[in-house]
Amino acid sequence: MRKPIIAGNWKLHKTASEAVELVKALQRQAGPVDDAEIIVAPVFTALATVAAALEGSSIRLAAQNCYPEKTGAFTGEVSPFLLKDIGCSHVIIGHSERRQIFKEEDAFINRKLKAVLAEGLSPILCIGETLEEREAGRMFEVLSVQTKIGLDEIAASDMEKVVIAYEPVWAIGTGKTATNEQAQEAHAFIRGLLRETFGADISEKVRILYGGSVKPDNVDGLMAQPDVDGALVGGASLKAEDFGRIISFRRP
């Protein structure tokens, strides 16, 4: 049985003090959670402050991005080495906004994933198709390329630390959500790709999250799908009440 992950990607929101207020409210709202891993991903400037606020908590801390070098002349960048130093356990890699807005390519995302693993952290590798790609019948092709290049040269022994997040780009911030059946179809395909590359045992251990307008009113149906192992939540993670309800999802 794969332990679910509910991760909140706060994107470019919340000052350091606001971020602390949110995690404290979340702790009160959600209470102790034993049957799922809870992760929050604040902006870089709030990470250290939130890490201190989470000390002794079961909630884990993620960064939203990183640069694939440990140190050096890379003005404005932050490395997995530094993220580990301030208490991060996870790093989001290849989010659709990094791909679409900042033009990050699969090979560069693969470098980031390797750098995250080298520091003993867990990467959350985001993959997903645009509306145009889906309508052109290229969804499986896009998912295959992003998965295979993103995980290129990753050892099977490292895969238990890797989390994959399927995020249909057309459902992010649009209010649209993939149907339960669409989510399951994509997740099952991704797990099949993992099976081909790493074998059945590893593929059954890797957790695949759904990300795309996850909300309190749709999380139960999504989490009922056999290959949906959690959620990467955007806007709803900025409200403690909404995120708390998502954390306490109910399977039929």
**Which residues are known catalytic residues?**
95, 167
Which residues on neighbouring strands pair with residue 232, listed in sequence order? 7
Give CA–CA dist 189/186, Å, rounded. 5
Tell me the HSE value of 48 on the side-chain side, using a 13 A CA sphere.
Answer: 4
Q: Which of 34, 41, 35, 49 is closest to 11 using CA atoms?
A: 41
Give CA–CA dist 208/232, Å, rounded. 10
Contact (CB, 8 A) for 18 and 135? no
By CB atoms closer than 10 A (0-12, 13-18, 19+), residue 52 is exposed
Sign of the CA dihedral 64, 68, 70, 75? negative
